[in-house]
Amino acid sequence: MGRETAYYDSAAACIAAFGTLLLLGQTGCGDEPSGGAGPAGPPDAMLEFDASAIGGSTAGGQSGSAGGGGVGATGGFGNFGGVSGSSGSGGTAGSGGGSNPYCGGTATPCSLLTLTQCTLATGCKKSGDCTGVSSSCYAQFSSYSCNAQQGCYWSTSSKKCSGSSWGCSLFNGSSSCIYQEGCYWDDNCEGVAAACSTRTVSDCTDQPGCHVVY
C-alpha cells in the first residue's frame, strides 16, 4: 500500500499543477514506483478518486486576479509654438486738425445793396443819377423860376422865359439836380463788390453775402 499511496500523491500533485482532473491511462507525471508498473487501471479508463482525500493542495485554488496593466506613460507634449500675439489695434484715426476760419460765400452785387450796406461794402460806393425830364423854359412864367431853370433866360421886354433847359443827365450832383425843375436825384450804390475771399474774418460779415467759415 505504501508504493500505491506514493503514486497517487504524485499524480494528484501533477493534476493540481496543470489544472486538469482528466487522467488518461498513465499520467506521465512524477516517478513511477520502481520494480514494475503500479495500479494503472484498464487501458483508456478514467481514474476516479476523491480529491479531498488526497493530501495535495486544493484544485487549482482561486485564480489570482488579473494584474492591472500598467498605466501607459503619458506622451510628452510637443513643443507648442509661442502663442501668437494679438495684432495691435490700429490707432484711432486722428481727427483732422481744425482749419483756420476764413471768409466764404458770394458777395452781393453793389447795385442790389441798400445805401447803408453800400457804405460798408468793399468795392461799392454811394452814387446817384439825376434823372427825369427838365421843364421847358416856356413853362416858366416868372423871372425867378425862369432864371432858376438852367438853360433858360427871362426877357424883361417881353416878360417871357425863353431858351432851352438843360437835361437832367447833365447834373452830376444832388444839389444842382434838385434845383432843375423836372429833375430829381436818384441815390444808388455802384461799383464791383470785393470777393468774400479777400475779406478778413473780422470784417467778413460787413460784406453782404459773406460769412465766416469754421
Tell which residue, 1, 59, 75, has the closest CA to residue 33: 1
**Averaged confidence pLDDT in the chain:** 72
Q: Tell me: the pLDDT tens digits for 55-75?
A: 444 333 443 344 443 443 344
Q: Is the pLDDT of residue 122 over 50?
A: yes
Amino acid at residue number 80: F
pTM for the full model?
Answer: 0.42
pLDDT of residue 120: 85
Tell which residue, 129, 131, 164, has the closest CA to residue 146: 164
CA distance 186 to 129: 5
Q: Tell me: the pLDDT tens digits for 135-155?
A: 999 999 999 999 999 999 999
| Cβ contact 201:212 at 8 Å | yes
Q: Tell me: the pLDDT tens digits for 189-210?
A: 999 999 999 999 998 998 999 9
Tell which residue, 18, 9, 17, has the closest CA to residue 51: 9
Q: Tell me: the pLDDT tens digits for 15-60?
A: 554 544 444 444 444 444 444 444 555 555 455 545 454 444 433 3
pLDDT of residue 30: 46
- In the chain, % helix, strand, coil (3-state, to 5) comes to 25, 15, 60
